[in-house]
Structure 1
Amino acid sequence: MSDTTDTPRERKPLGLKRSIDAGEVKQTFSHGRTNKVVVEVKRRRVLGKPGEAAAPAPAPAPAPSPAPAAPPPPAAKAPVRAPVGETPQERVARMQREAEDERMRLAEEARKRDEEQARTSAEDARRRAEDNRKAEAEAAERALDAPAEASAPVQVADAGEDEAPAADGTPAPAPRRFTPVARPEVKKPELKKKEEKRPAADPRAERGAGAGDRRSGKLTVTRALNEDEGRRARSLAALKRAREKERRSHGGPAKAREKQVRDVVVPEAITVQELANRMAEKGADLVKALFNMGLMVTVNQTIDQDTAELLVEEFGHNITRVSEADVDIGASDDQDAEETLRPRPPVVTIMGHVDHGKTSLLDALRGTNVVKGEAGGITQHIGSYQVKTKDGQKITFLDTPGHAAFTEMRARGANITDIVVLVVAADDGIMPQTIEAINHTKAAGVPMIVAINKIDKEDANPQRVRERLLEHEVMVEAMGGETQDVEISALKRTGLDDLLEKIALQAELMELKANPDRDAEAVVIEAQLDKGRGPVATVLITRGTLKRGDTFVVGSESGRVRAIVDDQGKQIKEAGPAMPVEVLGLGGVPGAGETLTVVENESRAREVAQYRAEKATAKRTTLAPTNFDTMFSNLQSSVVEFPVVVKADVQGSVEAIVNALHNLSNDLIKVRVLHAGVGAITESDVGLAAASRAPILGFNVRPNPKARELVKRDQVEMKYYDVIYHLTEEIAKEMAGELGPERIEHVLGRAQVKEVFRSGKRDKAAGLLVLEGVIRKGLHARLTREDVIVSATTIASLRRFKDDVDEVRAGLECGVVLADTNDIKPGDNLEVFEIEERERTL
């Protein structure tokens, strides 16, 4: 039993049998693209010829002395007995070494078999080639030994029509020098020759060719690493370039390409670079051509249409002239067909003096409280709302500011409205902004309804308001006129139904209609830069329907409607005529009062916006000083400039502030607005203010964090306001302080120089006769000669005879010594005055 356990069992060597070798190949494609591919190479399977037994393993080379028998194969050797006391780690290492030796032995045997097969294949190929040559030689000899009558049909068949046998049976002419012979039945010797030239070192390639190249598309390590097959395929463009290069190298210089003639669209004004782009020419070539014409321009300068036409013809292109109307989108004069018109809500603008109750009236109609949201209780934006009456009709209301600074807002509100409701307080009566609103309404040519508010007050007198309206040619129905009037109280909510009825009646008489089934057109009521939503424009649809996704252009900005928000803050998909909405998706903040027009595509919108921007830039350039004389005259002007930077929350406030600041300017000091924009105060605003030493006026806006840091670092003066007349009052005081106190001259006396005496070594004394007033010592004096000022000085000394006196009155004579001047002659006049300083007001 111990013998059985001690005798080791025959074990196979421990190792991994690798039947597949894996590798990584880098593929290269056109345009610099590469890819790494993992490929596998299967171990070759040796196949014998049909009918043959499997080839035995090759025996080792025979020794010089004959051996009685071949040595046994290595695979049959007895297993090595494990040494006594071997640890498991040593046993595993030993088994790995044995497996590696076995793998190397098998690889060497496989290599020898491959070499033997390659030699056998080469010998078979040479043998087949030799047999083919012998067969061709035998076939040629048999053809030469054949009788003439056997070759005659071949000659007749190959002869032309002129070599045909004659009709009398005479033999045909002698055969041609190279007589075709009949080929033996040898199948395609050319293929045999090709097989002879083809290297047969790789039996796998031979097997693949015999199998019809069915595996030719598979990527292997051999194919990937082969220089001929691994080269990446050339692109079509590379092949064309190679052919062109070869043609140039063989055929000499390439032929000049034919110049392509283009149709160039030229507007009324265009830059040189833009014209070069449209002509597909170099900008430098156009500048050179203009220089030859005597024009010194750069590529960024604008040229007129006639000069552009000369350039286009100079370069051999065709010009297409377009006018401003062809590029820009003007006001739509087209009228919609009568059958396409549908009734629309009326647009009603509420106007009047500040604090007369316009916004309170709108609050009462809407059931909201807008006044609490307005700083100082006054409206500083154009608010737009839509109210639904009891009978289901809709009315669009626009609330305009009543302050004097918002003149343009009121004018804009009157121009886009159908009906104006003039709110007049029953206690205050007609005020300046009331008169201004009446004038705006008359200029716009729209009907007016007078709403006499605050009738609940004790000192209310509606009849006096009606009488005062007659002074401004406004006659209400109670006074025998055509203008409707209604007494209301926005606070007590009385008379509101009567007001709505009168508005509905007036709208019914006007027959307001619009076509909703067309591209939308709208008027920008207000615009602002919202921190979270970007540029936002409040628009009033005039005709058509604005839909989400429409492409539009407004002023010099273009965009795509990203969202539409109604007056309740809800997002809607479309907005019809006479509906106020907020539009998101603009490229920038447009100007208030500009027209929004929907266009067919984005390229058209960008073209129109770019044209309008170039036109605005050209207009600003023409207004700027164009020569050094104008610039220096502006520098030498005695007018003091007060620079400011204005930032506000909406576009309408920016307009109102800028206009109010310009109205503060006078002959001595003027406001220079360095920059006026919408949105928060940014770093660029602080940098501009710091460079110009100007204050920043923020109206309902604040600086961002980075701007606040710059304000502290550069010590820029910041001023925040939420009521516009507070801003104007404070800026007026600062401008007055910039000029200093006001100096007022009071003339006290006049005298005439009779004689001039010497006083001391340098000074001269003048003998005077006081003509009027009084002359005092130490006062300011002005010496004139023939009404021309000679010098402005002061009276240093005053004497009466030989005594020093303080003053000399009219009709008396005296002697004076003037400070800082000796240019005194008899006949000069002396004017004495004193200066009073007062606090300056603008």
Structure 2
Amino acid sequence: MTKVRVYELAKELNISSKSLIKILQEEFNVKVKNHMSVIEEEDAQLIKELFAEKKDEKNPDDEESIEEKYEDLAEEDLKKSLKKSKVKNKNNKDKKEDTSKALASNRDNVIELEESTITVKEFAEKIKKQTTEVIKQLIFMGVMAAINDEIDFSTAKKLGEKFDTVVVQKELDIDKEAVEQEEDDDEDDNLVSRPPVITVMGHVDHGKTSLLDAIRKAKVTSMEAGGITQHIGAYTVNLNGQKITFLDTPGHEAFTAMRARGAQITDIVILVVAADDGIMPQTVEAINHCKAANVPIVVAINKMDRPGANPDRVKQELTEYDLVPEDWGGDVICVPVSAHTKEGIDTLLEMVILTAEMQELKANPDRNAKGTVVEAKLDKGRGAVATLLVQNGTLHVGDSIIVGSTYGRIRAMFDDKGKKIKSAGPSIPVEILGLSEVPASGDRFHQVKDEKTAREMADKRKEKLRLQYLQSTHKVSLENLYNQIKEGKVKELNVIIKADVHGSIEALKQSLEKLSNEEVKVRVIHGAVGAVTGTDVALASASNAIIIAFNVRPDSNATILAEKESVDIKTYRVIYNAIDDIKAAMEGMLEPDYKEVVIGKAEIRQTYKISNVGTIAGCYVTDGKIIRNSSVRIIRDGIVIFESELASLKRFKDDVKEVASGYECGLSIEKFNDIKEGDVVEAYEMEEVKKQL
């Protein structure tokens, strides 16, 4: 059935929509809301006829028409409604004033906590009570706290009720502006293509630096005569009018460090593999890092000019790590290149652009800038200097930015050739001056409205970091794995395996991945031969993984870093113990009775062979202390070769109970004489741990 809108009917009747609405409501009892309301065509026709009859019945002597009459009525109603609105607004204003007065009178009964904790003394000062009264109430609540002890928010809230005071926690909107920028509501019309950001990775001596240099010389425009190119850690090259940004941080350690800070700035990784050498340990490590970060890989098979170059062998080895070349039916692009002869460099860059086009990399240049710090340093003449990679928006000279927990106003900006520039768009690296402090690599930066806002946000971030340091984060470990699975925090258990031989890695990997169940999937993200290093701990921290060391030990740097980053390192000598522990942890049945505690390390510097006694080792205690009768293990090149007990421990000619760090000693190992200079003696004891209920 056809419908007619009110304004169309009003037009036919030659009256205003407002008058028609009034007539419909009062004369014809038709309920309409506004001029866009619809009525049935039959009803409209009836209204036309009735309206015509009413017009005919109107006395000619009347001074005003029906339309004028209803328009006057409408005006009167409008005046009445305005009068009512004014009265209502006045009442609301009075009500607000009364509310403000009431709040002002009760302000003393409300206190705000800016942090999650407060000291007893500060709480007493806020509620204007004696400290002794506050401590007394805490004792009644079952909380034993002294004047300088801290109480948490829930305790403070209950304590406030005892003194008729409402305790509320002030929301610290630390990154309000930054968060608003993160939540990018850009429309498709504002998004434009941006250059891809590339990182070059691979094994040592496979030609990473040579390839980067070849690309720079071939594609980076040389400067004027006498000019000096300032290397700033990143640069942009042009290929047929299209730009590509290279990060000059080829090491996977930098790659991991940035990912650990949540800065995923690399779009594509060029994996360099030597055609005459093939896949090497560091190449495998780079592949695992790329997979963990879920970044596309383009393989550059370098050194094709060498006599022993065999690209097919490289492709065959790549398939062992689930990287199947395109010409073999896979999806990994492999390009033969030579950094020495410049062969294949154009093709490599074209493949990078093609991969970038498949990713559809876009950004909005018409918004506040944000991005990541590539590197930073302190220059004597220029102060804090930072290399920034703009990831979205456009950065200008004079903009105020916050970078991690530091801030500043950009005084000068330079491109990758050392030339002064005024602005930089998405995926463009720039060197800036004007920061208050030197930021850390991987810190995110955001443009804010002014320097005052940036300073306030930086101060609040520093305070937040301090609180986070005091309340250390809980990384996944075997002891808390089951609880985290039940809470839904862990859906995937990432594991890094370090072992003495490659066969042990494969055996452990296969056995552990079979333990996956419906609730949690076990995934081995990296496996390598050798001692646990700082790089392994950094990867574990970034991926929230645990490290399983089989017949190998962590080095000193790895131990310190693991403690700082709360990374769980488990050492095993029997493969089944490792599998049983992971399985028990997943089932919530892991209840260790004993915990191994390393008490000291000593480096063997000289050996003496004595008849009827055996080999005596002259040692220097490097860490902790060596205790007589303690259990020891001999470590050679990071690998455990023997475990036993100390047979004797001497200082000069005297037997001693212990030797502290920084002192020399002589010792012999029970049932072991194959001691060599450079070996490390690690003393440990088993500490009993009470079972958790």
The alignment's TM-score, normalised by the length of structure 2, stands at 0.50
Higher-Rg structure is 1
Higher relative contact order (CA 8 A, sep 6+): 2
The alignment's TM-score, normalised by the length of structure 1, stands at 0.42
